[in-house]
Amino acid sequence: AEHQHARYNPLRDDWVLVSAHRVKRPWQGQLEKPPPEDVPRWDPNNPLCPGAARANGEVNPQYEGTFVFPNDFPALQPDAPEPGDSDHPLFRAAAARGVCKVMCFHPWSDLTLPLMSLAEIRAVIDTWAELAAELGASYPWVQIFENKGAMMGCSNPHPHCQVWASSFLPNEAHLEDRTQRQHLSQHGVPMLLEYAEQEARRKERLVVENTDWLVVVPYWATWPYQTLLLPRRHVCRLQDLHKGERDSLASIMQRLLIKYDNLFEVSFPYSMGWHGAPTGPYLEEDCGHWQLHAHYYPPLLRSATVRKFMVGYEMLAQAQRDLTPEQ
């Protein structure tokens, strides 16, 4: 708790430096502006609102629940050409194709997930599962992720996330596939299923739990208030969740996000995303080494205005955090 040490992250096969004493040092660095509290419920200039025009000229329908549409500025497109052959092994390129979608959680801009009802959050989960199944029928990886707050790069004050489906396994997915496969081979049990059982028993880093789910600050956490959302049973993909598990997922997500907001009494920024077994051609393979999970990476460190910067040592050496996960 008081002395620096390194902790191993078995999911990424790397290490994080824990320097618990550093959080006591005085702070004279950049202060962030708290998020605005006067977001209008509907703004005709907000391209995510019902009835508003987007950059490509299309007008959103008067949607009343979730709303999914193609990203107007996609990072991946389905018809991108082959990059051509390389003339040297140090200058390799590969094809990268896919689709990018935006998903609005709710028609009101002044809401966030923790302020939505359980039924509304459940509708979000159902749409996530539908997209994962629909895009996963042909694409190997479907990344559902939410950037909440301007601090995390969110440019539109409206409850929404993004869904990128790719023709390849991204780096993090490829890494987690390898480490989970190796753990099952060596220990005979899926890594994150065993980890959830251990954390539920130890109760040192447990944040919230219910019958089907638990949320922990992982032993190897990098971000100050990073959490890992885990199912208690073996589940490979979002679309594999049954009705009861989707209801309890809505409940535990709401509880977790309310706690985040209450921590510094601010609408808490974060990046979150779901990781599950690959899809597309992998649907025909045994992916029993995978366990569905969601990562939450919040940047706030000391208060609503002081953030943890991942620079310098983190970029050039390895991840480092200023308080222990237990603290």
Binding residues for UDP-alpha-D-glucose are 22-25, 55, 71-72, 147, 153-155, 162, 308-309, 313-314, 320
Rounded to 5°, the CA angle 147-140-169 comes to: 65
24/74 Cα distance (integer angstroms): 43
- Examine the residue annotation and report whether 187 is marked as an active-site residue of this protein: no
Q: Which of 106, 158, 160, 183 is catalytic?
A: 160
Annotated binding site: 22-25, 55, 71-72, 147, 153-155, 162, 176, 275, 293, 295, 308-309, 313-314, 320
- Look at residue 185 and give its three-state secondary structure: helix
Closest-CA residue to 162 (of 272, 80, 294, 62): 272
Measured torsion, CA atoms of residues 101, 102, 106, 107, in degrees rounded to the nearest 10: -110
Percent helix, strand, coil in the chain, to 5, is 30, 20, 50
Q: Rounded to whole angstroms, how far apart are CA atoms 274 and 93? A: 27
The DSSP secondary structure of 251-313, one letter per residue, reads HHHHHHHHHHHHHTTS---EEEEEE----GGGGGS--TT---EEEEE--B-SSSS-B----TH
Q: Is 13 left (phi over 0), alpha (psi -120 to 50) or beta?
A: left
Residues placed in the known binding site for Fe cation: 176, 275, 293, 295
Task: Map tokens 């907001």 to a residue.
Answer: 261
Residue 289 token pair = 């080494």
- Which residue numbers are catalytic? 160
